[in-house]
Amino acid sequence: MNRDVERHKLFNRRCVMLGGGKALLISALVGRMYYLQVVEAERYRTLAEENRVNLRLLPPPRGRIIDRFGVPLADNQKNYRVLLIPEDTKNVDATLASLGEIIRIGPGERRRILRDVKRNRSFVPVTLRENLDWREVARIEVNAPDLPGVMIDVGQSRDYPYGPEMAHVLGYVAAASPADQTGDPLLELPGFRVGKAGLEKVHDLDLRGRGGSSQVEVNAYGRVIRELQRKEGEPGARVRLTIDVGLQRMASRRLGAESAAAVVLDVHSGDVLAMTSTPSFDPNLFNTGLSAGEWRNLTANPRAPLINKAIAGRYSPGSTFKMCVLLAALEKGVITPTSRVFCTGFTELGDTRFHCWKKHGHGLLDARQSVVQSCDVFFYEAARRTGIEHIAAMARRLGLGAKLGVDLPGEQAGLVPTAKWKRGALDAPWHQGETLIAGIGQGYLLVTPLQLAVMTARMVNGGFAVTPHLTRSVEKSGARKVREASDYPSIGIPPRHLELVRDAMTDVVNFPRGTAYRSRIDDEAMAMGGKTGTVQVRRISKAEREKGVRKNEELEWKERDHALFVGYAPADNPRYAVAVVVEHGGSGSKTAAPIARDILLEAQKRGSARDGVRTAATAPAATTDGGEG
């Protein structure tokens, strides 16, 4: 009996303990549920919403670049690309191997992909291939179940419709490198491009725009169910250039396969109407990706297609510099318009002879005639009387020897030498013979084609310090006021001196004894003036001079003279200035002058300097000999 009572009490105690334990567990569970559902409700609601809703950054369309008449120069087109989200695949190598059986992924691409996967956060998409065709897109989509983390995306790709003809002005875009990263999340988006050269680089921030956002609902597997909200970004600004693309194309084609450059300016506003450098490259290749072979061809080409020779090519100006020497001599008063020098074919300084290009000399010439016939002896004497310091000062006023500040990266300053410069750079004294050499635009003197065009513009626009520019307006920041020559400061050259030089340059082309007479424009309303230049790039020995100097045609390409020409039109009321440099082109009168003539004639026919919208006259066009100087 007692044993039954004891057993009953034990049973009751165990029931109470079990019930208490259950009550404690239930209380803890209820408390935890209260904590999660009431106290932490807002936190977990947010976490659940973040699992259900993905926020995606939308890249803005890159701004368009148009010419002065509204013709698109850089635009956007659809780009089908395949992306990989690393966190959505267990084995990146296996996924790439599977994809490699569908589309080609080269060893270089594979290394780049793996590098990007390691560098970026796991949820950031990595671009595997771009510019896919429809067949490749379809094959990837059909095999999507076997390609975890792989997706097709439709983006925008930069397109340059005029390719090599505008490459050095526009530059190109490419994927952002680690050095480009500034914390802007746009730069991490697959396919997002930044300006790497040219105006694409100069105006990159304006052209980028601002990103938008998209909120999408996804299921447990990350598949998009629907878009909840979309906020469009701000497209990049539209940039209008001063370039007339029709004139640009004509100039580029006229230079052809030569290693050359040409610049056309509005002499009153400083608008660069054309700036071309040949040979060139296709900027679209930098966007889609250059092969190793294509890159080697560009970098190994001796004619340097990647360099914009118009602003970075440095050349001795040769006889195109003679007007500068004449202006300096006139200003100092050591030469007058009626001063005469007798040319016998050479002049002597100490025991050294300085030869004229015309072996038997020009005879007696005054200042105007010396420019027309490009007499070296006259300018040896003018330089000797003037001195290098006065010549250098005049050169700088005309835009030589310093960067002009054109809105392009890579501009070179050139070099206008002085005695002080030589002492500092070479630790050597200046010799008078070097002044004579500078008098005909050779020696240490170096200029760019853009500087030659500016020099010409300043001499024919009344002596105003017009400066060149390529950007007419940026839509985002508003239109830039179009400047005229009167808005620029005067360079302080007396009008009578400028008139003498301009009249001489007109005769260079239109007077029968002028060095560019055979390149004249027959239509008097469009007649041009100018000056030829031929620059030696090799030393002619005394023995060769006695036996007879070899002609350019007999020399290797790299030993031939450079050919130069500067000019303006119309001759009676200048509006356009041009500078043409053809590396190793031989004679300036035979090679450069005919090119400049055709460019100036085209500019006048098109009315390239006027404002307005695209017309039949301004629409892009469908795809001789002279004297010595």
Catalytic site positions = 319
The helix or strand, by DSSP H or E, that contains position 37, with its residue range, turns out to be none
Give Rg (Cα) of the chain: 36
Relative to beta strand 352-355, strand 193-195 is: unpaired
Q: 398-415 as b/e, with b when 16 or more CB fall inside 10 Å?
A: bbbbeebebbbbebbebb
Residue 9 CB partners (closer than 8 Å, separation 6+): none
Helix axes 388-397, 432-439, angle to 10 degrees: 40
Q: DSSP states of 73-86 as a string?
A: EEEEEEEEEEEE-G
β-strand partners of 426 = none
Let me know: does 275 contact 470? Beta carbons within 8 Å: yes
The first and second tokens of residue 160, run together, are 């340059």
Let me know: does 347 contact 353? Beta carbons within 8 Å: yes
Residue 441 CB partners (closer than 8 Å, separation 6+): 316, 317, 318, 319, 320, 321, 322, 533, 535
**Three-state DSSP state, 191:** coil
Residue 216: Cβ-neighbour burial (10 angstroms; 0-12, 13-18, 19+): middle
How far is 202 from 134, CA to CA, in rounded Å? 35
How far is 3 from 44, CA to CA, in rounded Å? 56
How far is 306 from 155, CA to CA, in rounded Å? 28
